[in-house]
Amino acid sequence: MQPDPVIADAPDPPVRSSRRNKAIAIVALVAIVAYVVTRPSTASSFEPKGNPVALPEAGKLTQLSADDFEGVLVGLRGTPVIVNIWASWCAPCRTETPLLERTWRAHSGEVVIIGVASKDVSARSLAFMDEFGVTFPNVFDSSGQIRARLGLRGFPTTYVFGADGKLRTTIVGGLTEQRLAAVLLDLRA
Amino acid sequence: MIDVGLLASMAIVLIVPAVFVRPWPPSAVATGLIDVSSGPLLIGIAVGRLAAVAIDDPGSLTSLGDLLIIRSGVEFWPGLAAGLAWIALRAHHDDVAPVQRLAAITAPALVAWAAYEATCLLRDGCSGPLSSLGLRPAGLVERMFPISLVVAAAAVGAAAVVRRWHRRGMPSVQVVALALAALATIRSVASIWLPHIGNGLTRQHRSSITVAVITATAFVVLRLRARRPATSVGS
């Protein structure tokens, strides 16, 4: 093994300064971890109620009231449901829509995916669906009541309902493949 | 919307190696590790994000808003290549041999990656196969074996090995090849157990396997060449 031709060690920094920097860094690390761990939860306590309503046709954008939307979720009890609230202007939605479509095609027998286009113009929502070749059911939340009832805090947000119809997880912000796959694994367990 | 977990992870990635791991040889990084690593980190994230958007949604390449959502995906290897290129350029500017500076920061860089993987606890939780021994990722009901924490431990181990060999006089170019091979191999193996959609390999998994094969081959070739006895003139 041949060493590098020039490896000249620089003198170490003063010990006192090094210890102080370490102490500051450790305090900063503890503060960061404490803040992240104790930040408020984004979980919503929404629980669907009402009479069952049929699932809207896949690949279409169906306008629904908040009550009918809850009815759809009630009608799907017995099957896990992933509700994704999106808009055509939302940047992370562009990344996660192909992921949701891939999931729908790979797991359509095990889980139902429902997109909710909200705070948007229906023509733009339809163009968005066409662009990404969306084939899972989508509803159009023209009044904003669906997102209000779900307690939406930002676009996109994904709500995961278990087979018992209860809300299990709320994911605020863009989905990653690993996160979505972990959610599916959790639902199937 | 600010992703607090991701921001905290980035801060920890910069702080941990700068405080707990010194570059070797120190002469290659005389100005401090945060000075040397913050630029490549930003460049790496930017290039990695550009690569992800170019592959997944080329129509969004002109949208700054779309590009800034790094949480939606960053291609690891193009980002790493850009970061390494930036470090090499800065080293050249500082009159330090680029490969010597790259070798000097291999151990801190592996520790930084380990810190990022370990901060899965601050983001979505650490996922993996279902296991009663595991942790419960945020919002999930079932426990999962935290693959990222194992990856973090493996990366720290790799950093220790690379650092030891470097201190024993392994040439810088071999140190860099060894570190890259270790990084790619750990990622390739870990990807087997990370949850993914569908049955095939993910793009990240395929690219990690490719880089592992290339860098491991390069490392072996460099070692063999270094061991070959020099032929004297006239013999």
For residues B183 and B158, give the distance between their C-alpha atoms in angstroms, rounded to a whole number: 8
Please report the pLDDT score of residue B18 as a whole number.
85
Q: Summarize pLDDT for B157-202 with one digit per residue, the tens.
A: 999 999 999 999 999 999 999 999 999 999 999 999 999 998 889 9
Size of interface A-B (CB pairs under 8 A): 147
How sure is the predictor about A15, in pLDDT bands with cuts at 50, 70 and 90?
Answer: low
Q: Do residue B19 and residue A22 have CB atoms under 8 angstroms apart?
A: yes
pLDDT digits (tens, 9 = 90+) for A24-77: 778 877 777 777 767 665 556 788 999 999 999 988 899 999 999 999 999 999
Do B8 and A25 lie within an 8 Å CB cutoff?
no
Report the residue from A10, A176, A186 with minimal CB separation from B27: A10
Output the pLDDT for position A6. 45
Top-confidence residue, A3 or A79? A79
B198 touches A106 (CB < 8 A): yes
Q: Which of A162, A173, A181 faces B197 most closely, judged by CB atoms?
A: A181
Task: Check pLDDT > 60 for residue A180.
Answer: yes
How high is the pLDDT of residue B24?
A: 87
Q: Do A10 and B1 touch (CB under 8 A)?
A: no
**Which pLDDT score, from 0 to 100, does residue B7 have?**
87
Q: Return the pLDDT at B228.
A: 78
What's the pLDDT score for residue B220? Answer: 97
Task: For CA atoms A22, A27, A32, A38, give the dihedral sign.
Answer: positive
Query: Residue B160, Cα to own-chain centre: how many angstroms?
Result: 15
CA distance A20 to B137: 35
Does the structure show a pLDDT above 70 at A7?
Answer: no
Residue A41, pLDDT score: 58
Which of A36, A173, A177 has its CB closest to that of B202? Answer: A177
Strands A157-161 and A167-172: antiparallel
Q: Is the CB of residue A161 less than 8 Å from the CB of residue A81?
A: yes
Cβ of B144 within 8 Å of Cβ of A182? The answer is yes
Which among A97, A180, A136, A82 has a CA at the least distance from the CA of B202?
A180
Q: Which of A66, A154, A181 shows the shortest CA–CA distance to B195?
A: A181
Q: How confident is the model at residue A122 (pLDDT cuts 50, 70, 90)?
A: very high
pLDDT at residue A16, as a whole number? 59
The CA distance from A168 to A111, in Å, is 14
Question: What is the pTM assigned to this prediction?
Answer: 0.87
Contact A33 B8 (CB under 8 A): yes
Please answer yes or no on whether A29 and B16 come within 8 Å at the CB atom: yes
- Look over chain A and give the mean of its residue pLDDT values, rounded to a whole number: 86
- Which of these ranges, A43-52, A154-163, A164-173, B101-110, has the smallest mean pLDDT? A43-52
Structure tokens at A103: 């999931």
Cβ–Cβ contact B54 with A under 8 A: no
**Nearest CA-CA distance, residue A29 and chain B, Å:** 7
Distance CA A3, CA B166 (A): 8
Chain A residues touching residue B73 (CB < 8 angstroms): 95, 176
CB B113 within 8 Å of CB B37: no
From first to last of the 235 residues of chain B, give the pLDDT tens digit.
Answer: 677 888 889 889 988 888 888 888 888 888 888 888 889 999 999 999 999 999 988 888 988 888 888 888 899 999 999 999 999 999 999 999 999 999 999 999 999 999 999 999 888 889 999 999 899 998 888 999 999 999 999 999 999 999 999 999 999 999 999 999 999 999 999 999 999 998 889 999 999 999 999 999 999 999 999 887 766 554 4
* Residue A149 confidence (pLDDT) above 50: yes
Question: Residue B68: its chain A contacts at CB < 8 A?
Answer: 91
Chain A touched by B26 (CB under 8 Å): yes
- B129: helix, strand or coil: coil
- Name the residue facing A103 among B18, B66, B197 (closest C-beta): B197
Closest CA to B176 of B214, B232, B119, B231: B214
B12 touches chain A (CB under 8 A): yes
Chain A segment 72-101 residues within 8 A of B by beta carbon are: 91-92, 94-96, 98-99
Distance from CA of A7 to the nearest CA of B (A): 6
Which residue is listed with tokens 């330090």? B96
Which residues of B140-221 form beta strands (DSSP E)? Answer: 144
| Gap between the Cα atoms of B219 and B230, Å rounded | 19
Tokens 């690891």 belong to B76
Exposed/middle/buried for residue A109 (C-beta within 10 Å: 0-12, 13-18, 19+)? exposed
